[in-house]
Amino acid sequence: MFGDCAQKWNWRYNNLLEAAGSFSFPLMVGSGLHDFMEQWYATKGKRAHVATLQLPEGAIASAEDLLKLEYWNHVLPAMMRAYVIYYKDDFTRFEILEIEEEVSIFYRGFRLRGKIDLRTNGSNGEYIHDHKSTSTLSKEVVAGFDFRFQFMFYLWLKWIQNPKNKIKGYYINAVKKPELRVKKAESIPEFGQRVFEDMVQEPDKYFYREPFLITRGALQHFQEKVVDPRIELIKYASDASSNKTLAEAIIINKNTNECQKFTGAPCPYIPLCRHGFEEMRHLYDLKERKHLELDNET
């Protein structure tokens, strides 16, 4: 809800706009990882494969993009092979309760939805799991996991859905992307094999999983201090009887610090913000629905 820039959220969430031909390798890799995890846990480790990553239809790819696509089509399967070896005991440690569980509630006039990667029951109780691929895995990164909106939001959704549920908290199931680099005389398949061997030999560099216990008091605090204020902002911005100028100011407020950071790609909506919707509308496609990862959206 709003995120780092209200205008960006408005373009993407309310107007359903996405840059034509755009694609994101982190999103593609994350989707491939999630798809593998879903298969692996659904079959209790009997079968799972990494689907070949493909650029979306209409994508404008450079030669560098094609090389990166080949890279990930060898590295991601290597990462998942190492994951299977490291976590081979998951099905004796955990009882799988739900996979890709969609949760939907009505709260204060709004429909709120989420999809939980995995819910299990083990020796320490019932937990939800969230699979993450990450470029960094350090104490500083891990220390902030238990404050992430997404993780708390899933637990809160389940709490509102059933206040008597037995979920104690969540696991972050993080897999770190390799920092190794391709050598000059090394092929991409050879590099993928080297990544696999390094992950098997030094798994602590690549895998992080820890349970975070969340109390009912913490969920109540999250509702009062995080969810409710955001709902109030959205309600105010959508209330036609309120000050229309101020309401529009909230929803189109531009955080220009987010337009271009020192690392990463620029915001895909810069042309719209700089030159206006009418001038730049042709550069964007209209998504079918808000949450493409959720089925049967209404």
d(CA 136, CA 63): 26
Q: How confident is the model at residue 295 (pLDDT cuts 50, 70, 90)?
A: very low
- Mean pLDDT value across residues 181-206: 96
Q: What is the dihedral of CA 36, 128, 228, 286, to 10 degrees?
A: 10
Q: Which residues contact 5 (CB under 8 A, 6 or more apart)?
A: 253, 254, 255, 258, 267
34 pLDDT band, cuts 50/70/90, is very high
pLDDT digits (tens, 9 = 90+) for 219-242: 999 999 889 988 887 777 666 555
Across residues 121-131, what is the average pLDDT?
A: 94
Return the sign of the alpha-carbon dihedral for residues 27, 141, 50, 94.
Answer: negative
Token duo for residue 190:
């050879």
- Indicate if the pLDDT at residue 101 is higher than 80: yes
User: Residue 151 has what pLDDT?
Assistant: 81
Neighbours of 134 (CB within 10 A): 18
More confident of the two residues 150 and 167: 167
Paired tokens of 33 = 């990882």
Tell me what the mean pLDDT of segment 23-32 comes to. Answer: 88
**Based on C-alpha coordinates, what's the Rg of the chain?**
21
Which residue type is seen at 226?
A: V
Q: Assign 205 to helix, strand or coil.
A: helix
Element (H, E) at 245: helix 244-251
Tell me how far apart the alpha carbons of residues 6 and 254 are, in angstroms, rounded to a whole number. Answer: 6
> HEC states along 218-238?
HHHHHHHHHHHHHHHHHHHHH
CB of 36 closer than 8 Å to CB of 50: yes
Sign of the dihedral through C-alpha 287, 173, 228, 298: positive
Is the Cα dihedral 100, 105, 107, 112 positive or negative? Answer: positive
Tell me how crowded residue 139 is: count the other CB atoms within 10 A of its CB.
6
Residue 289: its pLDDT value, please? Answer: 60
- Confidence grade of residue 129 (pLDDT, cut at 50, 70, 90): very high
Please determine, for residue 291, whether its predicted confidence score (pLDDT) is greater than 60: no
More confident residue, 28 or 250: 28
- Please tell me whether the overall predicted TM-score, pTM, comes out greater than 0.85 for this model: no
Q: Which pLDDT belongs to residue 1?
A: 52
Question: Mean pLDDT, to the nearest integer, of 44-52?
Answer: 93
Return the minimum-mean-pLDDT range out of 65-74, 141-150, 156-165, 266-275.
Answer: 141-150
Structure tokens at 180: 């190794």
User: Which tokens belong to 291?
Assistant: 């949450």
